[in-house]
Structure 1
Amino acid sequence: MYFMKVSINTAVFLDQMNAGHSQYDVLQELIGKPIDNVEVRGEFFQPASQEAELDKISELAHQNNWGLYYSIPEALFNDGELNPHLTDYIALAKKTGIQNLKISLGDYGALTEDTKQLLMQIPTNDVAISVENEPNEHGEVPKIFNFLDTTNGHFGYTFDSGNWYWIDQDPQAAMDQLSSKITVFHLKNIKDRDTTMLDDGDTDWQRLTKKVPAGVPVFLEYNIPSAKLLDQEITKVNELL
């Protein structure tokens, strides 16, 4: 029997990346740690070197048996218009072995039959695409639920446990309504609209995480300022999983 382990979004290395280290650099620090997947973030690549760095990251993931995920720093919809760059991201993902592209949902306006048809034509078999709840009005539960329900499982859903605080929503209540739709879980804790270590925020993160459907990857996605703290947070979540 395979026991799930926690996964890591490169946001945990925010201090180092802000200091100029690349995502390939910081991911080396995860070698040998008990993790399942890594998720890189589009905003931390230099456009000129992104593909070359992603190739190296892909090889690193392969060597360490990590699944590779990618966070797109854009929205699927802008003022009701579908993001024209999506096909480029899908091509990039296929080339570099990315399993899942995460993108904010954005403002989809009215989901007309034409829009729905366009959405269903987006290929999601080889590369999964998951939409995420944003920390604004586009991330409210009814909007997320309506989109996922209308597209009937064609898209995954990344539940971000922290973003609810920016729209004054309770993550536990959101989980109760959306748990059946979740395909990726971004775990973080929040106090005064700032991220904290897991045990220091306002969310009962253990109770929340226990409601995540079996088999859904649980990603740490918040700045963790030291290797020692990172090991402690990894251990906490692995003990729960």
Structure 2
Amino acid sequence: MKPEIIVVTAAYGRDRLDELGGQQAVVPMIAAAGADGVEIRRELFNDAELSDLAALGKVIADHRLTAFYSVPEALFAPDGTLNPNLDRHFAEAAQLNAQLLKYSLGHYQQGSNWSALREKLAARTLCLVVENDQTACGRLAALENYFHQHSETRVGNGMTFDMGNWLWTGDSPTAAAARLADFVSYIHVKAVAPMGDSWRAVALDDADSLWRETLALLPAGVPRGIEFPLEGEDLVAVTRHYVELLSEV
């Protein structure tokens, strides 16, 4: 069974999205390219767009796409408590008819009280996942601690594995894949190349084989998100090329 292919709107770049008319404008292109879904990014909304998420949700549904929703915040605050904006984000996800809500992990502390989050999720079918980001909180040791410690009380629906972000934190993507594969429920496919003292995301056709090696270690049936630059005159054709590639690899 082929995995679902999700296109992350940020792959088109903020400037190109603004030129096209925002995230809603690329939904028809993503559908035309044969993708299964779209990941909407909260940080790319202006105030007017954020106040009318139901309209975007309808466009996504009309194009028969699955909606994922990414919030650029951590699930756990610096003091170890849950993000105080959870209810607002749950409501936004509902307006988008999103099936998945994604956060970075943040400052998880062992022994956290899960009852509040468990209650919030009890009446929802929404999947809540955490992602390895490019900060110290996204290090392999931190994610392993979260997923392995107190597994009997941990709630949520697993991990968004961003294969490129490990390089920003100094970890090995393949080592992370081998150690966290059992918890992965969504993959951000991202190839990167060195840029000075840091890294930059690049298109898969311009990358080395590390993304393929990493992907081979991860669950084959979970959704795969395109989170590398999609650029060119014909964005539908470029997107279709990578949708087809990630459907087969």
TM-score, length-scaled by structure 2: 0.86
DSSP 3-state at the match of 1:138: helix
Alignment correspondent of 2:82: 82
Match for residue 204 of structure 2 among 193, 198, 201:
198
1:183-218 CA distances to partner (integer Å, 9 max, x unpaired)? 111001000100111132345222322332243100
Alignment correspondent of 1:107: 107
For residues 185 and 81 of structure 1, the distance between their equivalents in structure 2, rounded to whole angstroms, comes to 26
Pairs aligned (count): 236
DSSP 3-state at the match of 1:34: coil
1:120-141 CA distances to partner (integer Å, 9 max, x unpaired)? 3331642111011111211112
**Is the 8 Å Cα contact of residues 4 and 36 (structure 1) preserved in structure 2?**
no
Alignment correspondent of 1:154: 155
Residues 186 and 102 (structure 1), Cα distance of their counterparts in 2 relative to 1, 3 Å cut: same
Name the aligned partner's letter for residue 236 of structure 1.
L
DSSP 3-state at the match of 1:176: helix
Segment of structure 1 superposing worse, 169-178 or 153-162: 153-162
CA-CA distance at 1:232 after TM superposition: 2.4
Alignment correspondent of 2:169: 167
Residues 18 and 191 (structure 1), Cα distance of their counterparts in 2 relative to 1, 3 Å cut: farther
Residues 76 and 5 (structure 1), Cα distance of their counterparts in 2 relative to 1, 3 Å cut: closer
DSSP 3-state at the match of 1:56: helix
Alignment correspondent of 1:217: 223
Name the aligned partner's letter for residue 89 of structure 1.
H
DSSP 3-state at the match of 1:81: coil
Name the aligned partner's letter for residue 220 of structure 1.
I
Alignment correspondent of 1:143: 142
Structure 1 gaps of 5+ residues are none
TM-score, length-scaled by structure 1: 0.89
Structure 2 gaps of 5+ residues are none
Q: 4+ residue stretches of structure 1 with deviation over 6 A?
A: none
**Is the 8 Å Cα contact of residues 75 and 103 (structure 1) preserved in structure 2?**
yes
Residues 87 and 151 (structure 1), Cα distance of their counterparts in 2 relative to 1, 3 Å cut: farther
Q: How big is the alpha-carbon RMSD for the aligned residues of Structure 1 and Structure 2?
A: 2.0
Name the aligned partner's letter for residue 142 of structure 2.
K
Residues 232 and 58 (structure 1), Cα distance of their counterparts in 2 relative to 1, 3 Å cut: same
For residues 214 and 201 of structure 1, the distance between their equivalents in structure 2, rounded to whole angstroms, comes to 21
For residues 127 and 225 of structure 1, the distance between their equivalents in structure 2, rounded to whole angstroms, comes to 31
Identity %: 28
Match for residue 243 of structure 2 among 220, 230, 234:
234
For residues 54 and 118 of structure 2, the distance between their equivalents in structure 1, rounded to whole angstroms, comes to 29
Name the aligned partner's letter for residue 61 of structure 1.
I
1:39-54 map, 5 Å: 39-52=39-52, 54=53
